[in-house]
Amino acid sequence: MTHRVLEKEAPPTPRPKPHRPWSASLKNYRIYVGVAIIIVWGLAPFYWMVVTAFRDPDYTFDTTPWPTHVTLENFENALSTSSGNNFTRALFNSMFIGTVTTAVVMAMGIFAAYALARIEFRFKYLVVGIVLGASMFPVVALVTPLFQLFTNIGWIGSYQAMDIPNISFALPLTIYTLTSFFRDLPWELEEAARIDGATRGQAFRLVMLPLAAPALFTTAILAFIVTVNEYMLASQLSSDATEPVTVAIARFAGNDPHVVPYAAIMAAGTIVTIPLVIMVLLFQRRIVSGLTAGGVKS
């Protein structure tokens, strides 16, 4: 009787990892270097503003690239009213004007964008072109007419003079942005809701709006930032009681009327910028999902 000796199978030889071409590695390095350059280019002014904000006013023009002679005196000067500045009131004005403008343009822009994306009517693309053209209209061309108009009706220095122009410039941007988002939504869901007995308004409110939430959130943030950053009209149409932070920072005064308080200005800019940065970091997922909504079609 013969016995066969069972030999253990040899373990499989691991396959060598495919060699990545030198050109592919170089391409990845180029991407990383490009991203690093963009980050440094974008964040360098903000970094230098923060460094100067925490630096002693006597060393404002020190070129040391890291914080030296650290102090909080600049923030105290920025928030102080002893030199005629009222930065806290300007912060409230910017928040109030930005909130009112954003709420109005979103309330109007949602319905306008829905109509442009969903309803077919004559001259539809002409209307879209007019909206896009209005969003790119130069603000400086309207400063004098608006100043004359609001002077005649007694609105110079009022919140109406700040809100109405901001709404007129933020609304076209809102409509055009939301139209592109609404156009890519799955409208079959709205039709299914209509078949189930929902009205057009109910289908829009209960089905389509939740789907468009990331886009609405992103557009609202963009409208708010555009409004808060506006300077040209605010410098001409506001008063001491209604001026936003952009105007307040530009007319900052120090203890010496012949010396520009650069350090206090940097501190004020830091106070304004950091909340926006924190808001973007907290809601970055919603912002990214809103910006990329509709970018990939099934």
Give tens-digit pLDDT for 150-188: 999 999 989 999 999 999 989 998 998 888 888 888 878
Fold of 86-244+278-291: MetI-like fold (1.10.3720)
C-alpha to C-alpha distances, 165 to 49, 206, 264, nearest whole angstrom: 30, 32, 30
pLDDT for the residue numbered 1: 47
Res. 116: pLDDT tops 60: yes
Cβ-contact 83, 76 below 8 angstroms: no
Q: What is the pLDDT of residues 190-224, one digit of tens each?
A: 888 888 888 888 888 888 888 888 888 888 988 99
Mean pLDDT in residue range 75-85: 84
pLDDT for the residue numbered 33: 87
More confident residue, 129 or 17: 129
Q: Which two tokens stand for residue 224?
A: 């708010």
Enumerate the domain spans of the chain: 25-71, 86-244+278-291
Mean pLDDT of the chain: 83
Band (pLDDT 50/70/90 cuts) for residue 15 is low
The pTM of this model reads 0.79
Q: Amino acid letter at 26?
A: L
Q: What is the pLDDT of residues 249-264, one digit of tens each?
A: 888 876 677 778 888 8
Q: What is the pLDDT of residues 128-137, one digit of tens each?
A: 888 888 878 8
Task: Give the Cα separation of 81 and 229 in Å (integer).
Answer: 23
Res. 242: pLDDT tops 60: yes
Q: What is the pLDDT of residues 65-78, one digit of tens each?
A: 888 888 998 998 88
Res. 3: pLDDT tops 60: no
Res. 25: pLDDT tops 80: no
Task: Give the Cα separation of 290 and 27 in Å (integer).
Answer: 29
Cβ-contact 262, 187 below 8 angstroms: no
Res. 105: pLDDT tops 50: yes
Cβ-contact 156, 239 below 8 angstroms: yes
Res. 39: pLDDT tops 60: yes
Cβ-contact 169, 222 below 8 angstroms: no
> Of the ranges 50-54, 140-144, 255-259, which one carries the lowest mean pLDDT score?
255-259
